[in-house]
């Protein structure tokens, strides 16, 4: 199973099935829904980063003609129970309080009330007429302050998980991993390197703001249209917050304009349903860009300390990592996966990892592409780069001397099955962009990346039309071309041309349960369901052919999209194609459909190696990326163009985080750059072409060897940039972003010293 083989459909680059709708403007995204009689909802947000809500008076707003309803925390059931999926988990109760503040506003932009009115403009005007009486409290705005004794408490009821006593604390949880004897390892080292690294809060930066439209009928059944990475999770989370059963809620996913993890959680849907319930009308809610920045999940800012010891020959003898991540206002920073990633590319005998999940008065962190890994691996890969410098070794050789491989006992527990880190390092070393010496005056940086990848639950149904064309129905929102990958895997399995297969994303009532599109699971897990559903079709087709030929089904083979008698079966018949069998289905037992539902296990880890050349303008501090090379193990690339697209897009997101992106807060916890002008994501003129090389070490747990690729690409670029800038300057700047002001300040400080 899953060794490299020749495929007919897999590995080709056809146009995606939903493509034409997306280049003509016909595709419907979250904000494109309109219903008869629809009204509009808007959210009032806290002007304070930390404040007790003493009272909310909506009477003036409700007097405004055209205002239909105002809701606040008191309109929602208290004591919601259960846990939600997502990085670091979390409870429905916290989710509910994040969607609408109860007794305290916990960050600037936290929802405190919502209005439904005839127009969005009117709803916005009504917000100004809601009177909220706040008792302003001191905010806690970074991990170091939050972890210090005597810090103001974000949540007076928070205790530290992991048995750290019973005093309230901003530290929600501590994670530890340890192996061997790190102290002895450091004692045996010839060289020890250590450093502290800060990575700022960044936003996923999807171009489509959150949007939804909801209606509630007279029987209390809700229908929600929204842009999401997982409509089944929207259903369960909305039900949890509203105290409804999932059976009372139908969620219809629109096309989704980017998510990167940020649309695995919900913000608006329960508010829209509640407003619809109160007004008897469909309610549409669309966030502004400013709201997206202030109130939706950014990623965790982090403070990481890493120490690595090695022998003269480069053998690492010990490593330690101390990682503190901002969770935002509720527990659940992705520090667990940060800890599990930090040493993942390496084979280490002695290490200690400690991670801290820390509450601060900022929006609750949401998943962002390989959640937790970019921060911790930025620290580790920067430290490895420093170690290579100290040892006078090529940074690839140093990594090759220590890299994990099949059989390595991963730092987070298990033994690695076949993995691709070594092949990625060897490919980097042989790559023409690496063998070409860097130009005079430039700096080169290299780093490794990693993500576990996940499986989880997926369903798929494959239906044959009477002319043999194929419909695939599944429940994973298509965020980057996954319909094309599903069609390719179905075409490959059935042995039919790609262009007779169409994949569709069904709503919660027209297809079986699927977890979110995230964690690089869709091509792996939903793909597995599609392959199994196609195998179901093949089994049925063989049965129908056997019946037609009056032989046993086990005497029939399925070859190149046709049923044929097995070799040695003595019968003179023409092969039956999928179209022949489908056309005859009515006579042979009725319509043919295949289905599969599964909880996919055995997702394969995806490693990467990236490198780049940069220049640093010493007058302005501006860093220019001259070239960037991304090498990654995809297992098998089903649609190589979309695999490259994930690698290129993730690389540029990582470069943006490294070079410019950060939440800038004032002392009161107010974000000062809540717009695309001041929160500057990369634009076309900032970037070079992103060269890609796909490595294929097939995942033994998938029939076509898929690992999943979407998460890993964002991880390495942070340290690549730090390492390249350090190489160019001749000294290290540990903290991100390497924006012109901070680089210039570092150059000035270095020149003075």
Q: Return the residues of window 634-653 that contact another protein according to CB under 8 A.
A: 639, 641-642, 644-646, 648-653
**Span interacting with another protein, options 109-117, 320-328, 439-447, 479-487, rule CB under 8 A:** 479-487
Contact between residue 171 and residue 264 where contact means Cβ atoms under 8 Å apart: no
Find the shortest distance in angstroms from Cβ 310 to another protein: 25
Stretch that binds another protein, among 67-75, 449-457, 495-503, 731-739 (CB under 8 A): 449-457
Site string for another protein, 485-524 (x = CB under 8 A): -------------------------------x-xxxx---
Q: Nearer to another protein by C-beta: 242 or 301?
A: 301
- Cβ pair 11, 638 in contact under 8 A: yes
Shortest CB 515 distance to another protein, Å: 8
Which strands form 470-474's sheet, in the order they lie side by side?
A: 501-505, 470-474, 456-464, 593-600
- Contacts with another protein, 107-126, as mask; x by CB under 8 A: --------------x-----
Angle of helix 421-430 relative to helix 395-402, nearest 10 degrees, comes to 160
Judge contact between 391 and 191, C-beta under 8 A: yes
Establish if 180 lies at the interface with another protein (CB under 8 A): no
479 binds another protein (CB under 8 A): yes
CA 269 to chain centre: 20
User: 223 to 262, contacts with another protein by CB under 8 A?
Assistant: 255-262
Whole-number Å distance between alpha carbons of 11 and 739: 39
* Smallest distance from another protein to CB 420, Å: 15
Q: Is the dihedral of CA 569, 573, 578, 584 positive or negative?
A: negative
Q: Which long-range contacts (CB under 8 A, 24 or more apart) does 152-157 make?
A: 152/50, 154/50, 154/106, 154/329, 154/359, 154/360, 154/361, 155/106, 155/329, 155/330, 155/359
Positions in 345-374 near another protein (CB under 8 A) = 367-371
Residue 284 CB-density burial (10 A; 0-12 exposed, 13-18 middle, 19+ buried): buried
List the structure tokens of 20.
Answer: 């034409």
Q: How far is the CB of 87 from another protein (least distance, A)?
A: 5
Of the pair 94, 386, the CB lying nearest another protein is at: 94
Select from 13-21, 238-246, 391-399, 427-435 the region that touches another protein (CB under 8 A).
Answer: 13-21
Site for another protein in 315-344 (CB under 8 A): 336-337, 340
Of 629, 701, 721, 723, which one interacts with another protein (CB under 8 A)? 701
Of 9-17, 185-193, 554-562, 736-744, the window that binds another protein (rule: CB under 8 A) is 9-17
According to DSSP H, which parts of 217-268 are helical? 231-242
Among 3, 25, 435, 730, indicate the residue that binds another protein (CB under 8 A): 25
> Torsion angle of alpha carbons 584, 587, 589, 591, nearest 10°?
50
| Dist CA 551 CA 530 (whole Å) | 28
* Cβ 162 to another protein shortest distance, Å: 6
Distance of CA 690 to the CA centre of its chain: 21
Q: Is 29 in the site for another protein (CB under 8 A)?
A: yes
Find the helix or strand (DSSP H, E) in which 651 lies: helix 640-659
CB of 271 to another protein, least distance (A): 20
Site mask for another protein (CB under 8 A), range 571-610, x = bound: ----------------------------x-xxx-------
Window contacting another protein (CB under 8 A); options: 217-225, 452-460, 564-572, 617-625:
452-460
Q: Which of 148, 207, 439, 749 binds another protein (CB under 8 A)?
A: 207
Q: Please state, as a whole number, how many other Cβ atoms lie within 10 Å of the Cβ of residue 60.
A: 14
Nearest distance in Å: CB 386, another protein: 28
535: buried, middle or exposed (CB in 10 Å: 19+, 13-18, 0-12)?
A: middle
What is the SS3 assignment for 739? coil
Q: Taking CB under 8 A as the rule, does residue 745 contact another protein?
A: no
Which of 11, 332, 710, 737 is close enough to bind another protein by CB under 8 A? 710
When asked if residue 483 is in the footprint of another protein (CB under 8 A), the reply is: no
Report the relative pairing of strands 302-310 and 316-328 from DSSP bridges: antiparallel
Query: By C-beta, is 73 or 518 nearer to another protein?
Result: 518
Does residue 687 belong to the site contacting another protein (CB under 8 A)? Answer: yes
- Contact 240/78 with Cβ under 8 angstroms? no
Around Cβ 686, how many Cβ atoms within 10 Å? Answer: 16
31 binds another protein (CB under 8 A): yes
Q: Is 200 in the site for another protein (CB under 8 A)?
A: no
Per CB under 8 A, which region of 8-16, 63-71, 275-283, 565-573 contacts another protein?
Answer: 8-16
With binding defined as CB under 8 A, does residue 549 bind another protein? no
- Terminal-to-terminal C-alpha distance of the chain: 60
Residue 85 touching another protein (CB under 8 A):
yes
Is residue 209 a contact residue for another protein (CB under 8 A)? yes
Residue showing tokens 């890609």: 692
């Amino acid at each position: 199973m899953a060794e490299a083989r020749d495929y007919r459909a897999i590995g080709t680059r056809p146009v995606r099935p939903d493509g034409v709708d997306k280049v003509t403007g016909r595709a419907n995204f979250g904000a494109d829904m309109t219903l008869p009689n629809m009204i509009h909802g808007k959210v009032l947000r806290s002007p304070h980063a930390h404040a007790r809500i003493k009272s909310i008076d909506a009477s003036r707003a409700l007097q405004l003609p055209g205002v239909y309803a105002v809701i606040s925390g008191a309109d929602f059931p208290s004591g919601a129970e259960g846990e939600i999926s997502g990085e670091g988990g979390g409870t429905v109760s916290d989710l509910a309080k994040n969607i609408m503040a109860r007794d305290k506003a916990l960050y600037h932009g936290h929802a405190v009330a919502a209005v439904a009115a005839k127009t969005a403009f009117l709803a916005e005007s009504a917000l100004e007429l809601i009177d909220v009486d706040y008792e302003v409290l001191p905010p806690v705005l970074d991990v170091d302050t939050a972890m210090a004794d005597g810090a103001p408490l974000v949540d007076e009821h928070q205790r530290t998980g992991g048995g750290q006593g019973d005093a309230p604390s901003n530290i929600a949880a501590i994670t530890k991993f340890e192996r061997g004897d790190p102290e002895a390892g450091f004692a045996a080292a010839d060289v020890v390197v250590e450093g502290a690294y800060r990575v700022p809060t960044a936003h996923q930066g999807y171009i489509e703001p959150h949007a939804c439209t909801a209606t509630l009928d007279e029987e209390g059944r809700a229908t929600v249209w929204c842009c999401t990475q997982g409509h089944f999770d929207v259903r369960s989370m909305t039900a949890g917050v509203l105290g409804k059963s999932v059976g009372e809620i139908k969620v219809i996913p629109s096309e989704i304009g980017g998510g990167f993890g940020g649309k695995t959680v919900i913000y608006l849907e329960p508010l829209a349903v509640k407003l619809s319930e109160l007004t008897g009308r469909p309610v549409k809610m669309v966030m502004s860009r400013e709201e997206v920045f202030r109130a939706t999940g950014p990623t965790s800012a982090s403070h990481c300390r890493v120490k690595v010891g090695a022998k003269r020959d480069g053998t690492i003898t010990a490593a330690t990592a101390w990682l503190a991540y901002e969770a935002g206002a509720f527990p659940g920073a992705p520090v667990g996966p940060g800890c599990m990633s930090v040493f993942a590319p390496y084979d280490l005998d002695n290490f200690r990892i400690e991670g801290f999940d820390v509450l601060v008065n900022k929006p609750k962190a949401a998943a962002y592409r390989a959640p937790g890994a970019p921060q911790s691996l930025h620290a580790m890969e920067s430290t490895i780069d420093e170690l290579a410098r100290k040892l006078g070794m090529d940074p690839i050789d140093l990594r090759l001397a220590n890299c994990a491989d099949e059989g390595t006992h991963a730092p987070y527990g298990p033994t690695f099955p076949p993995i691709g880190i070594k092949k990625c390092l060897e490919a980097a070393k042989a790559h023409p962009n690496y063998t070409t010496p860097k130009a005079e005056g430039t700096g080169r940086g290299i780093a490794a990346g990693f993500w576990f990848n996940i499986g989880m639950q997926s369903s798929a149904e494959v239906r044959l039309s009477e002319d043999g064309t194929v419909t695939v129905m599944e429940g994973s929102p298509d965020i980057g071309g996954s319909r094309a990958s599903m069609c390719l895997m179905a075409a490959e399995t059935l042995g039919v041309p790609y262009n007779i297969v169409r994949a569709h994303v069904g709503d919660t009532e027209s297809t079986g349960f699927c977890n979110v599109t995230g964690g690089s699971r869709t091509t792996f897990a939903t793909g597995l369901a599609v392959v199994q559903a196609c195998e179901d079709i093949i089994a049925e087709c063989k049965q129908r052919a056997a019946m037609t030929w009056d032989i046993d089904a086990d005497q029939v083979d399925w070859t190149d999209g046709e049923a044929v008698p097995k070799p040695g079966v003595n019968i003179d018949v023409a092969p039956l194609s999928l179209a022949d069998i489908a056309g005859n289905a009515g006579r042979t037992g009725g319509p043919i459909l295949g289905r599969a539902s599964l909880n996919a296990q055995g997702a394969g880890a995806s490693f990467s190696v990236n490198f780049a050349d940069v220049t640093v303008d010493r007058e302005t501090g501006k860093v220019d990326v001259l070239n960037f090379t991304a090498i990654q193990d995809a297992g098998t690339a089903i649609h190589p163009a979309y695999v490259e697209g994930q690698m290129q897009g993730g690389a540029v997101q990582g470069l943006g985080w490294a070079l410019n992106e950060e939440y800038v807060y004032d002392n009161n916890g107010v974000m000062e750059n809540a717009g695309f002008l001041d929160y500057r994501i990369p634009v076309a003129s900032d970037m070079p072409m992103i060269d890609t090389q796909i490595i294929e070490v097939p995942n033994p747990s998938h029939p076509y060897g898929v690992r999943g690729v979407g998460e890993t690409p964002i991880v390495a670029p942070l340290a690549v940039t730090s390492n390249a800038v350090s190489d160019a300057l001749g000294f290290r700047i540990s903290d991100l972003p390497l924006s012109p002001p901070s680089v210039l300040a570092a150059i000035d400080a270095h020149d003075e010293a």
